[in-house]
Each structure stands twice: as structure tokens, then as C-alpha cells.
Amino acid sequence: MIAPCDFPGWLADLRDQADVLAPAGFFVLVPALMVSATRDALRGSGIAYGSQDCAAEAEGITGETPASHLAESGCSYVMIGHHQRRQALGEDDHTAARKATRAAEAGLTPVLCTGETDRIAPADAAERVTTQVRPVLGQLPAAAPLVVLYEPLWASRERRAADADHVAVVERALEVLSTGRPGPVRILYGGAVAAGTWKAMRQGTRLDGLALGRAGIDAAVRRTVIEEILADPPVRGEAERAPLP
């Protein structure tokens, strides 16, 4: 998520919507510098929060934020493997696996970003995404929870969410990949999410929620999307499974 210019005002808006956000299991991921402000603003609201990245190494590296520090600051989640970090910094699936492991060791739930860059056939997209997830599952402790965020970049560029049929193929491949794993794997969709996206995705998918991205900045859109999810909750039904910005 791109942090809004009026960050304190945005946090205040989130708190004002806590009556809807908290029951939906909403959580927010912010830059590490803004974790403390987020903690203070959302304290007691029932809204969870986390950071947009963490260090890949167990030992501290100057300028990097260890997962243990995020946990000490009250974070519950940390984003791993965002496409911008992959493209700009050369991070790969094995970097993501190390970061996910550090997150789990600190008691955080990693939110693994996945997805294809260009529009391709659903089966090819599923292969690409499972290739991204497999190294993480290979290193992550078996009982540790994982959130997989499927975000096809072409959908964001086209400003139109992927079809539910396309997402369903990717989702089913992820379910097969994680079958038999004791730790829960939740699957979210992100990419041009807007009002009506959840209703469309309910036709043929078993998603656990949505990632709002830019839509999470707009209070009216945010409320609309979350109310749609609350009105027709995920079929797997755990209260924690819901949208994040």
C-alpha cells in the first residue's frame, strides 16, 4: 500500500470505522517508520497492523528492521516479497523464504506477495504463483501461519480485477500445494479491488479475503468493500480472514 499523505488522518479514519473493520479481521500494513504511530492510533480498536518488510537475516544489519523488533512494537503481520522489491532490489523467492522464516520465528504472520507480471493463461499463472510459494513453504515451520496475497500486476495496470475463473485456478493450485500442512494458509486476492470485487470473486472462488491497496485509502470505498465481505463472509469462515490495505 502507498501510505497516504495525511497519515494521521487516515489512521483516525480507520479507528472511526473500527466497528466494521475489526469484526472483518481487517489488518493494515505500513512502512516500518510508521509502525509506532499506527500502534498508538489503533490501540484498543481491534484492528491489527504490521510492517511492509523485514530483514532476511536473523542477525541485525544496519538499516534493516529485524522481525523481532516489529514483534516488540506490537505487529502481528509483515509483508514479504512485494513485486517492487523484487524488481528494484533483486529480491527473489529464496529471499522471501528467509524473510518469512524470520517473521515466523518472531511470532509474526508473513503476508507473501505473489502474482504474474503480464496477462497469461490461468494455468500458467497458477504455475508461476506456486513456484513463488513453494520455497517459502519449504522453509517456514510447518505449524506457522501464512497469508498468500495473489496480486496479478496486469490487473492493477489495467485497473480491472482479474476474472473469478482466473483467480479460482490459482487458488486451487495453492490449496493443493498446502494440503496436509498443519499451519493455516489463507489466500487473499489483490489487484484493482473496488466495490463489487468481492461479489464477483464469490462466484467460483474460496478466497479468504481481499487486499485493498489504493482502495484502502478511500474511507467510503473501504467501508463498502468490507461490508460486502461481512454480508457474504469467506466460506472457510475464520474471523481473522478478511481484507487489508
Residues that are catalytic = 82, 151
* Of 162, 134, 135, the residue nearest 150 (C-alpha): 162
Amino acid at 74: G
The number of beta carbons lying within 10 Å of the beta carbon of residue 53 is 21
User: Could you tell me which residues are beta bridge partners of residue 110?
Assistant: 78
With cell 533483486, the residue in question is 90
Q: What span, in angstroms and rounded, lies between the C-alpha atoms of 114 and 142? A: 20
Q: Would you say 59 and 117 are in contact if contact means Cβ atoms under 8 Å apart?
A: no
Sign of CA dihedral 166, 205, 208, 200: positive
Which helix H or strand E contains 201, and what residues bound it? helix 197-201
CA distance 32 to 69: 10
Which neighbouring-strand residues pair with 51?
A: 30, 78
Per DSSP bridges, beta strands 77-80 and 48-51 are parallel
